[in-house]
Structure 1
Amino acid sequence: MKIVILAGGSGTRLFPLSREKYPKQFIKLINHSSFFQETVKRFTSKFSLDDFIFSTKKYYTFMIKEQLEELKFKTDNVHFVLEPIGRNTAPAIALCAKYALDKMGVEEEEVLFVTPSDHFISPRDAMLRYFPLTEKLASQGYIVTFGIKPSHPETGYGYIKVGEQLEEGSFKVEKFTEKPDFKRAVEYVSSGEYFWNSGMFAFTIKTLKEEFQKYQPEIYSLIFENSYEEAVERFEELPDISIDYAIMENTDRAAVIPCDVVWSDIGSWDAVYEVFPKDEDCNVKKGNVITYDTKNSMIIEKGKRLIVTIGVEDLTVIGTRDVTLILKRGESQRVKEVVKLLKKDIERKHYVDRHVTEYRPWGSFTDLEVGDRYRIKLITVKPGEQLSLQMHYHRSEHWIVVKGTAKVTIEDKTFYVHENESVFVPKTTVHRLENPGKVPLVLIEVQVGEYIEEDDIVRFEDKYGRV
């Protein structure tokens, strides 16, 4: 069995913590681990990293490698399937199957277990107990889904109606229903015949190919009748469609295994409140937070400030360095409406795109202050890493080393800058910053110029392929 982890989503339903350049799967909310890291740990007691395929975007690969390295994994030969453009889960899963055949040399009888990377499951490795039955059903030609017993009439989840029993602990799927209205959700829950669709699937590559050929011939022919490289090249020609709509709502080969686990897709701040432990006043608190006469609320502080609440109930407060979100509990599905408004606002749309801290393959930078014709950053470069050899047309830079030793190239000169020393980089000057040491290099960068945005970078050489 191979584990396919879908990690390419850029959803912002947990705004302001989740943003397009740092989406939900990489946020660290659970015991200092991200949802992505928890997903990997869920299966590594049984599988090695060689058995994983990560379906993602090129921009996220360095984040994935960094988070895997935090778990003490070597990342030299990680299996990445990079989507050139977002086309939803059906094309992504088909491309992963093609990668497994062409690049990993597996047979068509190999079982693929597909899981999102941003869900919450407790106990963490509970899904492993269902794997023997999963492999048995998948080897019999079924597409196996995993159902969660609904605890309330949720309208944000898909539902699975069970049919006749198969092997003990599994059933044929009678039908799938995507996100019903509240009245119908109440009917489903009260009937006892429906389970939430967890979004996890298992099947052999042979079965998957047959169902794509039957129900999605366009996807089948482009991916499975071409080489992997050709499929990637033509990926943008594929329809934007989920595996649920493409296959699961049409197939007569679907089976469901009801799972006795605590599960959530963490699709809203209300969902986060439901799964997190609470204090004696039913509050969820994380970060630098003080509550006084506060009940049934969630306060999360991920910036550098103190949040204090007094005499409030049923609130959600999320604080970052640059955004504070305050909403009534039960209203978190409306966050996406605010995100849509921000995307249309030229002056504010950057809040949806990126955090004050941005991550790069070489490290990260944090905006400390931005004004008219100047910008001040805190830059951290990981040991042994380097920025690209580059030049700016519109700004000069002044670097002050706070920690570590910087190796600096300016035009044809290379020299070292130590703690409490500085160097000036004029406009239109070719330069590079490196960390040759064993500890993180930390420095303050002061930019001055008529244009100080990130796209004023002309790269000449780059070890990460960004030229």
Structure 2
Amino acid sequence: MTSKLIPTILCGGAGSRLWPVSREQHPKPFIRLADNMSLLQKAFVRGAALPEVAEVLTVTNRELFFKTEDEFKQVNRTGIAVSYILEPFGRNTAAAVACAALQISSKHGNDAIMLVLAADHLIADQHAFAHAVTRAMVLAKQGQLVTFGIRPDAPETGYGYIEADGERAIRFVEKPTLEVAQEYLDSRRFLWNSGMFCMQAGIVLSELERYCPDVLNAAKNCLALSREAQSNNFVQLTLDADTFANVPDISIDYALMEKSTQVSVIPCDIGWSDIGSWTALSGLSEGDAQGNAIEGEAVLHNVENCYIQSHDRLVGAVGIKDLIIVDTPDALLVAAKNCTQDVKNIYATLKARGNDAYKLHRTVYRPWGSYTVLEEGNRFKMKRLEVKPGGRLSLQMHHHRSEHWIVVSGMARVINGEHEALINTNESTYIPAGHQHRLENPGVIDLVLIEVQSGEYLGEDDIIRFEDVYGRE
């Protein structure tokens, strides 16, 4: 009997080292590369293209669900079944794997094989990857917890390592110093730990029971109180927040892989990178004769070995070398190439200060579409709203601000207090503070409008939702 294969994409983490493009609500997996595909889309396509796949399961934050769903719709050419486990907050990889294994076991049986993939890695050689997965499935059917080890080509200090004897994993080791990493490279016994795994759901559960029962039991309690929605080729499990908080915050490596005696490793050359810094990401772009890689528009004079990304503005650079320059509409990063691992400190500082630049871009995506902050000042804020066909904002109210909507293109259906109206292009409406209101796009083209807010307080948390078709609180 053929075992079902369930690619399981873990879409967590903030990608803080890739700020300012990566933000908490637009994290690293959603970064688009030169081919206009995101890392998340590449992970989906990579998993879905394998043989014997029954469905693709993704574990992600519930705030990112609609964004993730949109990403998959763009690349799911074959209509393969998709399912989601939605976390209320991050709880590390042991919690994600335990919940996924329980869900897969319940839906597909203990013999189903879960292929755990990171949402933010890049694999250049799909053929070699598929070959490695085929071999891993053989070992998984023999009761092994299989990990994928990448043959190192440099003394990398940013990765964990696996000491291996053929396909037998001897031990996992932490990120080493440069001297130790060189020793690992010279010994030819060590592989980079890719963070990808292949294992039968039932074996994962039995090993979790043996080595970290607190993780498994807390995950079971959580799933028992979680809400599930199903439709054709679609399952969505929303984890209960109170019980999910009781799952220990620990990685699957610490909780299980370093303890189990049933761990195998597949040494492989698959063109793998975790794109863990701007230096790594810049390496994907072809440089000019001076070693400069440019995405966007830049004018250079006496510039060497720099990476410049700016899709909205022209960048001029003079007399610099070995720099990373990343320009976004609301934030600019300038970093030495040999210090890009430290970009996470900028992210952490912004978060500690309560500066929304760690969390949001100027353009923010919502289930119904997106909005872009155009300008803001004392007592006013201007936004550009884009509502997808059929998109509908929640029925809501604001205590401290009024809103003026001007339709730029398309048609809007507006509820304003007791009244409902259709607003055409070049028409407008005014929503006083305290009025229940709703905006909807009843047409077949995108609705674009300008929103002008005015009032004492213009924060995004001044909102009371009465109804919402997307299930948001």
Q: If the TM-score is normalised by the length of the shorter chain, which range does it land in?
A: over 0.9
User: 1:34 & 1:432 partners in 2: Cα distance?
Assistant: 32
Equivalence for 2:183: 187
TM-score w.r.t. length of structure 2: 0.92
Secondary structure of the residue aligned to 2:129 is: helix
Range 85-94 or range 290-299, more displaced: 290-299
User: 1:399 & 1:73 partners in 2: Cα distance?
Assistant: 37
User: 1:284 & 1:398 partners in 2: Cα distance?
Assistant: 43
Question: Cα distance, 1:270 vs. partner?
Answer: 1.2
* Contact 2:150 2:267 survives alignment (8 Å): yes
Superposed CA offset, 1:171-216 (max 9, x none): 1011110111222111111111111011100011122122111210
- Within the alignment, does 1:70 sit opposite 2:78 as a pair? no
1:320 to 309, 328, 339: 328
Which runs of 5 or more structure 2 residues have no equivalent in the other structure? Answer: 227-238
Question: Cα distance, 1:280 vs. partner?
Answer: 2.8
Superposed CA offset, 1:303-329 (max 9, x none): x21112222211100010010100111
Equivalence for 1:114: 116
Question: Cα distance, 1:125 vs. partner?
Answer: 5.2
Question: Cα distance, 1:152 vs. partner?
Answer: 1.4
Secondary structure of the residue aligned to 2:365 is: strand
Secondary structure of the residue aligned to 2:465 is: strand
Which runs of 5 or more structure 1 residues have no equivalent in the other structure? Answer: 166-170
Structure 2 letter corresponding to 1:42: R
The structure-2 alpha-carbon separation of the partners of 1:50 and 1:374, relative to structure 1 and needing over 3 Å to count, comes to farther
Secondary structure of the residue aligned to 2:384 is: strand
User: 2:410 & 2:64 partners in 1: Cα distance?
Assistant: 27
User: 2:79 & 2:14 partners in 1: Cα distance?
Assistant: 23
* Contact 1:35 1:120 survives alignment (8 Å): yes
- Within the alignment, does 1:361 sit opposite 2:362 as a pair? no
Question: Cα distance, 1:26 vs. partner?
Answer: 0.8
- Within the alignment, does 1:176 sit opposite 2:180 as a pair? no
Counterparts of 1:10-409 in structure 2, within 5 Å, are 10-46=14-50, 51-72=55-76, 78-102=82-106, 104=107, 106-124=108-126, 126-163=128-165, 165=166, 171-224=167-220, 228-230=223-225, 232-233=239-240, 234-302=243-311, 304-346=312-354, 349-409=355-415
Superposed CA offset, 1:390-426 (max 9, x none): 1111111111111111111111211111111111111
Equivalence for 2:231: none
Question: Cα distance, 1:227 vs. partner?
Answer: 7.8
User: 1:76 & 1:128 partners in 2: Cα distance?
Assistant: 18
Equivalence for 1:168: none
The structure-2 alpha-carbon separation of the partners of 1:49 and 1:209, relative to structure 1 and needing over 3 Å to count, comes to closer
The structure-2 alpha-carbon separation of the partners of 1:14 and 1:49, relative to structure 1 and needing over 3 Å to count, comes to farther
The structure-2 alpha-carbon separation of the partners of 1:4 and 1:72, relative to structure 1 and needing over 3 Å to count, comes to closer
The structure-2 alpha-carbon separation of the partners of 1:190 and 1:25, relative to structure 1 and needing over 3 Å to count, comes to same
Counterparts of 1:410-421 in structure 2, within 5 Å, are 410-421=416-427
Question: Cα distance, 1:229 vs. partner?
Answer: 2.5
Question: Cα distance, 1:248 vs. partner?
Answer: 1.3
Question: Cα distance, 1:108 vs. partner?
Answer: 0.8
Superposed CA offset, 1:55-103 (max 9, x none): 011101001111112225598963111123321001110100111122x
User: 2:345 & 2:135 partners in 1: Cα distance?
Assistant: 42
* Contact 2:400 2:458 survives alignment (8 Å): yes
* Contact 1:317 1:325 survives alignment (8 Å): yes
Structure 1 letter corresponding to 2:168: K
Equivalence for 1:465: 471
1:3 to 3, 7, 28: 7
Question: Cα distance, 1:387 vs. partner?
Answer: 0.5
Structure 2 letter corresponding to 1:450: E
The structure-2 alpha-carbon separation of the partners of 1:125 and 1:442, relative to structure 1 and needing over 3 Å to count, comes to farther
* Contact 1:43 1:125 survives alignment (8 Å): no
Range 326-335 or range 228-237, more displaced: 228-237
User: 2:53 & 2:448 partners in 1: Cα distance?
Assistant: 32
Question: Cα distance, 1:51 vs. partner?
Answer: 1.2
* Contact 1:50 1:78 survives alignment (8 Å): no
Question: Cα distance, 1:452 vs. partner?
Answer: 0.6
Range 20-29 or range 307-316, more displaced: 307-316
User: 1:50 & 1:385 partners in 2: Cα distance?
Assistant: 31
Structure 1 letter corresponding to 2:208: F
Equivalence for 1:444: 450
Range 16-25 or range 254-263, more displaced: 254-263
The structure-2 alpha-carbon separation of the partners of 1:28 and 1:368, relative to structure 1 and needing over 3 Å to count, comes to same
Secondary structure of the residue aligned to 1:306 is: strand
Secondary structure of the residue aligned to 2:176 is: coil
Structure 2 letter corresponding to 1:134: A
User: 1:96 & 1:90 partners in 2: Cα distance?
Assistant: 10
The structure-2 alpha-carbon separation of the partners of 1:325 and 1:158, relative to structure 1 and needing over 3 Å to count, comes to same
* Contact 1:5 1:116 survives alignment (8 Å): yes
Question: Cα distance, 1:389 vs. partner?
Answer: 0.9
User: 1:172 & 1:270 partners in 2: Cα distance?
Assistant: 33
Question: Cα distance, 1:275 vs. partner?
Answer: 3.2
Secondary structure of the residue aligned to 1:10 is: coil
The structure-2 alpha-carbon separation of the partners of 1:229 and 1:265, relative to structure 1 and needing over 3 Å to count, comes to same
User: 1:144 & 1:76 partners in 2: Cα distance?
Assistant: 25
* Contact 2:7 2:53 survives alignment (8 Å): no
Q: What RMSD in Å do the two structures reach over aligned CA positions?
A: 1.9
Moved >4 Å (runs of 4+)? 47-50, 72-77
Range 351-360 or range 280-289, more displaced: 280-289
* Contact 1:4 1:112 survives alignment (8 Å): yes
Question: Cα distance, 1:48 vs. partner?
Answer: 8.5
Question: Cα distance, 1:50 vs. partner?
Answer: 5.1
Aligned residues: 455
* Contact 2:404 2:451 survives alignment (8 Å): yes
User: 2:95 & 2:472 partners in 1: Cα distance?
Assistant: 26
Superposed CA offset, 1:269-306 (max 9, x none): 1111233332332222112333333221111114x211
TM-score w.r.t. length of structure 1: 0.93
User: 1:49 & 1:417 partners in 2: Cα distance?
Assistant: 47
